[in-house]
Structure 1
Amino acid sequence: MSWNPAPRRNVLRRTAAIGASTLLALAGVTACGSDGGGDSTTVKIVAFQAPSLGAFLPAVIEERELDAEHGLDLQFTYATPDNYNSEFGAGHYDVGGSAALLSEGLRTERGADVTYLFNLFDFYGTVVTSDPDIESLTDLPGHTLAAATGTTNYAMFAWFAQDIGLDLNEVETQNQTTAGLSTMAQTGRADATQLWEPAYSSLLASVSDIRTVDLDYDAWESEFGTGDIPYLGVAAQTAWVDEHPDEVQSLYDTYKAAADWVLDNPEEAGALIAKTIPGGDAEVIQKLIEDNDERLRLRVAPASDVTEGIRAVFEAGIQTGYLADQPPDSVIFDGLQ
């Protein structure tokens, strides 16, 4: 059945990254009916600020109004990792657009009733450095490492560090926002920086003397019997999901349409997404999309389709002490087509 959306107002719907107190003030319960009186359903989503994977597809959804095509009015608010986890974890937002699996597992341990709806990106993370003394992760002790320690990308990095024998307690970690990681790497204010896409490709394009310290991804498959590493997606409060099954499906369909368009139109998508990234380079983002399987790893799929990989991620979290036990089955949503 086709959807004939109500006319959209020509306004900028992007909300700037803001502090926790303001986030709380803006966060509202999902309401039926758009602000303009149309038939779309408003869904308020909090996500990491750019550059981040959580902000990658929303740029496309907003510009191309893919939400309206699926009967939704998605209103995105962007926050730092710490504010995101605080606000979504407290239930101030019904939907989280930067839902990293380990974070959702940890939320269930702390009593939050959330469910991982669908995957957006598989895991990729790395370490960069200009220090000639750092050639592998095991060279990091005694050095400084800039990292967004409130992110699950860092928590996943901790598993690879532990697997190779690195004790992160011997590394001086400097906590940064996701936006601040590239600056730390560019200026050399830390000996090394742990980061991921799209910041990684943008950094390599602007700094010529930086080197990559790769993680051992083969070790993951050896340990867990799968090379599948679902990482970041969209999660929601279970109570909201139970009350809005149609909106959940439409939300998935919207993100899936955005992902398909990005992969089919890398040049146009690169230009669009680069505009949302401070200092973003359209050609860099285009190349990242074209080489999707290497580092971007965009893969929109229902959580129930990647259960084996999800359980492997949770097991990795248990091994590093991030999680105490496997989260309940309810954290993996089963209900998407």
Structure 2
Amino acid sequence: MKRIALIDVRSFLAIILVGIVLVIAVGCSSDTSGEETGPEEIRLDYAYYSPTSLVLKKFGWAEEEFEEEGIEIEWALSQGSNKALEFLNSDSVDFGSTAGAAALISKSNGSPIQNVYIYSKPEWTALVTNPDSGIETVADLKGKKVAATIGTDPYIFLLRSLAAENIDPSEVEIINLQHGDGASSLASGQVDAWAGLDPHMARLEIEADAALFYRNADFNTYGFLNVRNEFAENYPDYVNRVIKVYEKARNWIIDNPEEAAELLAEEAEIDVEVAKIQLERNDFSNPIPGDVHVEALIESGVILQDGEVIDADANIEELTNELINPSFAEETIE
């Protein structure tokens, strides 16, 4: 009878041992595969029209939240909703602060974003003119030069205001300028009116006696914190944690209005009285996206379709429901 060589037996046992080790390793791997691995960095924007973001950046609460995991926090300044959306679309930030209607326009153009948090309900825009311009009503804008930042809430506010008076936008010369440039152009008389945005608008009220000749809080859409779809899909727990630190900032503003105004004044380099006016025009009471935000966007979307800003064939209701995702805030906020 032929004997099995000792070396063959040892080789056979070694193969068996290696197999057992591999099985254990695979088992351990499958046990941990459901755990979420965090990103190397989280990129947030901040904006002078979003006091909550300024508070969050000032106190470093996002940095504290993710410090133990070694996750870096990167900040980018958004000078308007259009800039925040450019950052989101180019994958330059993970979270961007915009007006709701501006986010809807971007969504209609294929932007890969969803709204997960409401940082404020602002009356941050109105139609503004100089005290001696002779402009007192929306109808007086016919044939006039009006500055506005296309793709932002002030621009949408202008369109809705014109539509309410049955004025076609072609009857007004709309000058596309960034918000700060629009304010400067109004103050220097280069334009007749301006679709304003705080804090620039509040500053002109105080410094130049500018007149807010048309106000309608219902034409303002809400302050949306949007996240890139890819980030939300890959790191859902981290979306919740970003919302958690935003909540800390929101509650701090509610509890410390005077200090919040001082902080806004410091960060935006504006007078504290200007900052107080801006904050007074913000309602920080409802951070969870819901039906009221859906309704506001659908109404704005119809106006935007009429103004040929959004394609006439777009399904506004469907786009709005794809954009607004309350599940993260509902899970995070008590």
* AA of the residue aligned to 1:264: D
Aligned partner of 1:268 among 240, 247, 259? 259
Give the 3 Å change call, closer, same or farther, for CA 74–156 of structure 1 in structure 2: farther
Return the offset for 1:77: 0.7
CA-based RMSD? 2.6
1:140 aligns with 2:147: no
Q: Where does residue 315 of structure 2 map in the other structure?
A: 325
**Match in the other structure for 1:152:** 153
**Do the aligned residues in 2 keep the contact of 1:145 with 1:171 (CA within 8 Å)?**
yes
Q: Does the 8 Å CA contact 1:119/1:302 hold for their aligned counterparts? A: yes
- Unaligned ranges ≥5, structure 1: 1-29, 34-41, 221-228
Aligned residues: 280
1:193 counterpart SS class: strand
CA distance in 2, matches of 1:66, 1:128: 36
**Structure 2 CA distance, aligned partners of 1:316 and 1:118?**
24
Aligned partner of 1:128 in structure 2 is 128
Residue identity in the other structure for 2:271? D
> Are the structure 2 counterparts of residues 165 and 299 from structure 1 closer, same or farther at C-alpha, using a change threshold of 3 Å?
farther
Flag the 1:216–1:274 CA change in 2: closer, same or farther, 3 A: closer
- Structure 1 residue corresponding to 2:298, chosen from 303, 308, 311: 311
Distance 1:241 1:297, change over 3 A: same
Residue from 227, 231, 234 that aligns with 1:236: 227
Residue 31 of structure 1, CA deviation: 6.5
Structure having the higher Rg = 2
Conserved in 1, the CA contact under 8 Å of 2:85 and 2:106?
Answer: no
More helix, by proportion: 2
CA distance in structure 2 between the partners assigned to 1:188 and 1:178 by the alignment: 15
Counterpart of 1:188 in structure 2 is 189
What are structure 2's unaligned runs of at least 5 residues? 1-36
The answer on whether the counterparts of 1:118 and 1:303 sit within 8 Å (CA) in structure 2 is: yes
Give the CA deviation at 1:121.
2.7
Does the alignment pair 1:258 with 2:257? Answer: no
TM-score when scaled to structure 2? 0.74
SS at match of 2:268: coil
Per-residue deviation, 1:299 = 4.5
Q: Trace 1:153-232 onto structure 2 (pairs within 5 A).
A: 153-208=154-209, 210-217=210-217, 230-232=221-223
What code does the residue aligned with 1:101 have? Answer: G
State the distance in 2 between where 1:333 and 1:80 align. 25
1:20-77 residue CA offsets vs partner (Å, 9 max, x unmatched): xxxxxxxxxx9635xxxxxxxx3112455xxx314x2222112222224543754221
CA 1:303–1:177 in 2, change beyond 3 Å: closer, same or farther?
same
1:35-184 correspondence to structure 2 within 5 Å: 42-48=41-47, 52-54=48-50, 56-71=51-66, 74-81=73-80, 82-96=82-96, 98-124=97-123, 125-130=125-130, 131-184=132-185
Q: What is the CA distance between 1:141 and its match in structure 2?
A: 1.2
User: Could you say which residue in structure 2 is the equivalent of 1:248?
Assistant: 239
In structure 2, how many angstroms separate the alpha carbons of the residues matched to 1:321 and 1:71? 43
Which of residues 241, 265, 283 in structure 2 aligns to 1:297? 283
Matches of 2:211 and 2:157, distance apart in 1: 21
Partner of 1:37: none
- Structure 2 counterpart SS, 1:149: coil
Q: Distance in 1 between matches of 2:253 and 2:122?
A: 18
1:282 aligned to which of 262, 269, 272 = 272
1:7 corresponds in structure 2 to: none
Q: What is the letter of the counterpart of residue 108 of structure 1? A: K
Judged with a 3 Å threshold, the aligned counterparts in structure 2 of structure 1 residues 303 and 314 are, in CA distance, closer, same or farther, namely farther
- Name the CA distance, whole Å, in 1 between partners of 2:202 and 2:320: 36
TM-superposed CA distance for 1:154, in Å, is 0.9
User: In structure 2, what is the Cα distance between the partners aligned to 1:171 and 1:308?
Assistant: 28
Closer, same or farther in 2 for the Cα pair 1:197/1:302, shift >3 Å? Answer: same
Equivalent residues of 2:85, 2:98 under 8 A apart? no
1:5-20 pair list within 5 angstroms: none
State the 1:302 CA deviation: 2.1
